[in-house]
Structure 1
Amino acid sequence: MNKAKSSRILFSILLIVLTLFSTATIAYADTEDSNISPCYSSIDKNYAQLDITGVKAKCFASLSTKSPKNLKIVMELQKKKSNGYETVKTWTSSKTGTRLSMSESRNINALCTYRLKVTYTAGSEQVVAYKY
């Protein structure tokens, strides 16, 4: 085998190996970074909490923005059914400003499973979150 042909083969193998390692590294980095969070232009922070104690469900949600906006929070307490979830109670709060929070509670059936669905709106931006 001549020297030019073996150099091309060696270069091709090296290129294939480097391509495989760079692809694997990108995939590894993408799956291991658990600190990825969505970036919004208006919403700075949103938080929701569902506490179930006995027959009482306590629901809390808050929203903050970087600048004053029309803010709205819609909390839906949802009960698990065989085909998904059904809303049993809805609460809404809204105002103009940079912070909005709300807290509500409701008696529930302790034998059922519930979740809290919260829809945050700041200006024209909307985010939906679930708490179990």
Structure 2
Amino acid sequence: MSNKDIKLHSNFISDIKKIITTARNSAIRSVDFERVKMYWKLGERIFVEEQQGKDRAEYGSYLIRNLSASITPEFGSGFSYRQLAFCRQFYRTYPNMNALRSQFNWSQYRLLIQIDNEYKREYYELEAVNNRWYQPIRG
């Protein structure tokens, strides 16, 4: 095998690795964003249901606790009271699902919804996008 063949082979392998890595990262982002949309839809549904209650604060807590107890056996611990409360808060913070950024995963949104000041939250969103803070760190 000549040096030219080795270089060609090396470039070929490099291209193949790049294709695989790009596809994997795209798949991860797609799955992450589907999870974000699921949590948003859960939050919306919880919020709509709780608005029908008379004493909203008390009913909201009751509703989420019972919902968690009902779905955790089937769907696992990812639907705890705390997680479902975050879903409701997520919907209230971002009432328009079309405004969600596909670059952010659920963990990043959980951090963002804890920022009460809307302008500060928007600042961090823009900084994250401009500085590519949303890039997944994969091994």
Alignment TM-score > 0.5, same fold: no
Q: Which structure dedicates a bigger proportion of its chain to strand?
A: 1
Q: Which structure dedicates a bigger proportion of its chain to helix?
A: 2
TM (norm. structure 2) is 0.31
Higher CA-based Rg: 1
